[in-house]
Amino acid sequence: MHGFDWNDLRYFLALYRRRTLAGAARELRVQHSTVGRRLAALEEALGASLFTQAPDGFVPTEAGLAIVPLAEDAERAVQAIDRRISGSDARIAGMVRLTTSEAFSGLIVRHLGRLRDRFPDLTVEVLAGNRSLDLARGEADLALRFTETTDPNLICKRVGSTAWSIYAALSYVERRGLLPSATDFRGHDVIGFDETLAAVPGALWLAEHGAGSREILRGNSIVAILNAAIVGMGVAILPCFIAEAEPTLRRLTPDIIGSREVWLVFHPDAARIARVRSVIDFVTETMAAEADRLGGTAAPVPAPLTRRA
């Protein structure tokens, strides 16, 4: 066995976690051929095969499984060194990666110009999606999440809450009429949520009060559900801050039917890095400035339309 490049452990772990060369390449932001080449170099240096290729992806061998915990220990040590050394850099410059939901990313992005004016050498990479990225593994520096983390190694700071209510396009209301009440969807078309969003307030409300309605579409994306409501497909329960930004949507009730707390999550070592601290402060300020919009009280609810006979 010859000495190996420590950096090749990153490629090994990415392939172990993603199971495909393409998936590992996306995580590492390299070409998939680079992943294959670095894996081959690591296997040659160790004198062992680390994966076998199956129809559904790469499967670790016994030797591969044996080194996973050791590789993860090395990864954590390198990240700790990076955080500790970076923390001594007081310059607010470079990259900070913030992960949040697709729906919430729009709110953050609309305010980023203000941060850019303050710190022109700072770049924020917004990683939007429903998958929860692993901060401990360095997949992101900060996370805006809707559940409190249970990881004792991370700081979890409550920065606000989002209210939800019931909306439909004006065209839908003119065509189908109003709901009899916020708890009566009988005879109406509704836009539902798939199992990945089963715990959001809208899905919980429909599960309790949606009897007699017709689910005409189901989505795993709040943005997709929003767009379906905008074009008049049916009634949707949405976060107030995104629905009330759409002039074609009408709020059907003054009631807030549910809410979700918003948490900013980060590693304590990361908070000592000036560029990361600047984004923590920016997100906290933005959430405070948007508190009324997030809480569904930024504007009065319009008077009800006349119910169609």
Of 205, 246, 244, 252, the closest CA to residue 227 belongs to: 246
Average pLDDT score over residue span 213-219: 95
Rounded mean pLDDT of 202-215? 96
Neighbour-count burial of 38, counting CB atoms closer than 10 A to its CB (0-12 exposed, 13-18 middle, 19+ buried): buried
Helices (H), the chain: 8-18, 21-28, 32-46, 62-86, 102-118, 170-176, 201-209, 222-230, 240-243, 274-289, 291-294
Mean pLDDT of 22-26: 88
- Residue-wise pLDDT for 240-254, tens only, equals 999 999 999 999 999
The residue that leads in pLDDT, 76 or 291, is 291
C-alpha angle 99-217-244 in degrees, rounded to nearest 5: 55
| Superfamily (CATH H level) for 94-159+260-291 | Periplasmic binding protein-like II (3.40.190.10)
The angle formed by the CA atoms of residues 179, 184 and 185, to the nearest 5 degrees, is: 70
CATH superfamily of 161-258: Periplasmic binding protein-like II (3.40.190.10)
Domain boundaries, the chain: 8-86, 94-159+260-291, 161-258
At a CB cut-off of 8 Å and minimum separation 6, what does 261 contact? 146, 148, 158, 160, 161
Domains 8-86 and 161-258 share a fold: no
Residue 123 has a CB neighbour count (10 Å cut-off) of 14
Q: Assess contact for 202 and 258: CB atoms under 8 A.
A: yes
Q: Are 198 and 77 in contact (CB under 8 A)?
A: no
Backbone torsions φ then ψ of 282, nearest 5 degrees:
-60, -45
CATH 1.10.1740.110 correct for 8-86: no
Reported as a pLDDT band with limits 50, 70 and 90, residue 86 is: low
Instruction: State yes or no: pLDDT of 116 exceeds 80.
Output: yes
